[in-house]
Structure 1
Amino acid sequence: MKRLLRNVLRSSWVQRAVGFLAAEWLRLVWLTNRFSFEPRDVYELVEPQQPAIFAFWHGQHFMTPFIKTKQSHRAKVLISLHRDGEFNAIAAERLGIGTIRGSGDHGSAFHRKGGVGAFREMVRALEEGYNVALTADVPKRSRVAGLGIIMLARESGRPIMPFAMATSRFIRLKNWDRTTINLPFGKGALVGIEAVVVPPDADAETMEKLRAELEANLNEATRRAYAQLGRPQGAAHG
């Protein structure tokens, strides 16, 4: 029975259907939540620094396609090769975001999970003027920023823009990253934190320092987003 269910979930028509439904659900959530922005002129501040690397946490990612508010904001997002990634990729593309498939983890599975090719494609996308969005934490290590995104910033010369998006109404799953399912008919918040810039000659010590800074900035952005919505407990994890 489990094998049959797994095969059904892997079928292209099921993946397309789930991706379509997910995209339309997220569009409904975006349209029916009244979003506030911190700082208020966040887009005016960020646009001169584009193309940039937009960073967010696993499990807090569903609303992130909507940071793209103009056709001129060309963007691609890194999505894993895992089966669940297919649904996310279809949804992202339906919402106007290009996809790069592979792993952001620079651990032992980096080569096997398509990490090398994805890394090169992200560098190339930034060179071509695309913004690139990806989770700062790697699978199974929620809210611990990895070095992959720091390496990308060093190689590309582009700044990392940490941000968080939250809604006042949500469901939290009990999985490894405590995924938040955003719900319609409430309030929303987008919080951007000061960019993290990685020098091209950054050594291991500097990269670790900037990794920790990015981690702290993302936690602060998440805390502020939920606090604005009167849901400070929403930022808690664990």
Structure 2
Amino acid sequence: MKRLIRDFLRSGLVQRALGLLAAEYLRLVWLTNKFSFEPPDVYEQVEPQMPCIFVFWHGQHLMTPFIRIRGSYRAKVLISRHRDGEFNAIAAERLGVGTIRGSGDHSGSFHRKGGVGAFKEMLRALEENWNVATTADVPKRARIAGLGAIMLARESGRPIMPFAMVTSRFIRLKNWDSTTINLPFGRGALVGIDSVSVPPDADAETMETLRLRVETLLNEATRKAYAAVGRPEGALG
């Protein structure tokens, strides 16, 4: 019975329905939360540096399609090839964000999960003036930044923009990344602190330093965002 239920939920028709429902629910959340921005001129600071590599923590990703709401920015997001990621891809596309399917994992399963192809597609997207968005975490290791975005920045020459986007009302799941389900009728905050650039000749030591810098900025942005909506206890660091 469990297998039948799982197969039903993973069917194409159900995944599409879930994706469309998720997109419209998130649109409701966006419209019914009053968002603040830190710094207030964050868009004016970021726009001249586009296209950029936007990174955020896994589990804090649901509202991220709305960072492009202030303009007609072209953006693509990396989403897992796993069937459970299908409705996420449908929801993102419904909200006007393009998708790149593959894994950001740079472990031994990188090739098997389509990581090489996805990495090349992200490079092409940046070359074609698309912004690219991806989670920063090492898979199954929440709040530990991986080298994926650092490698992409080194190869593309584009800056990394770590940010956090939260709401004051939410439900937090008890899974590996503590997924936050944002709720309507509250306050929201988008916080970006600083960009990170990676030299084209960056060696392993430099890349590790910059990886830690991205991790620090994401944790700081997350803490500031929750403080801005009056929920400092909501931050995970």
Scaled by the length of structure 2, the TM-score of the pair is 0.99
Distance 1:2 1:9 in 2: 11
Match of 1:178 in 2: 178
8 Å Cα contact 2:140/2:176 also seen in 1: yes
Distance 2:23 2:51 in 1: 25
Distance 1:93 1:138 in 2: 24
Match of 1:208 in 2: 208
Distance 1:155 1:230 in 2: 39
Instruction: Verify: 1:158 aligned to 2:158, yes or no.
Output: yes
Distance 1:187 1:71 in 2: 21
Distance 1:17 1:193 in 2: 36
Distance 2:169 2:17 in 1: 25
Offset at residue 70 of structure 1 (A): 4.8
What are the superposed Cα offsets for residues 144-172 of structure 1, whole Å, 9 maximum, x if unpaired? Answer: 00011100000000000000000000000
Offset at residue 31 of structure 1 (A): 0.1
Scaled by the length of structure 1, the TM-score of the pair is 0.98
Distance 2:181 2:67 in 1: 17
Structure 2 counterpart of 1:108, which letter?
Answer: G
Match of 2:143 in 1: 143
Offset at residue 236 of structure 1 (A): 2.7
Q: Which runs of 5+ in 1 are unaligned?
A: none
Match of 1:199 in 2: 199
Distance 2:132 2:17 in 1: 26
Match of 1:222 in 2: 222
8 Å Cα contact 2:102/2:113 also seen in 1: yes
Structure 2 counterpart of 1:29, which letter?
Answer: V
SS in 1 for 2:142: coil
> CA RMSD for the aligned pairs?
0.8
Q: Percent of aligned pairs with the same residue?
A: 78
Offset at residue 21 of structure 1 (A): 0.5
Distance 2:174 2:82 in 1: 19
Distance 2:216 2:128 in 1: 30
Distance 2:190 2:200 in 1: 30
Distance 2:193 2:146 in 1: 18
Instruction: Verify: 1:35 aligned to 2:39, yes or no.
Output: no
Structure 2 counterpart of 1:141, which letter?
Answer: R
Alignment of 1:1-238 (within 5 A): 1-70=1-70, 72-236=72-236
SS in 1 for 2:99: strand
Distance 1:102 1:58 in 2: 15
Q: Which runs of 5+ in 2 are unaligned?
A: none
What are the superposed Cα offsets for residues 180-230 of structure 1, whole Å, 9 maximum, x if unpaired? Answer: 000000000000110000000000000000000000000000000000111
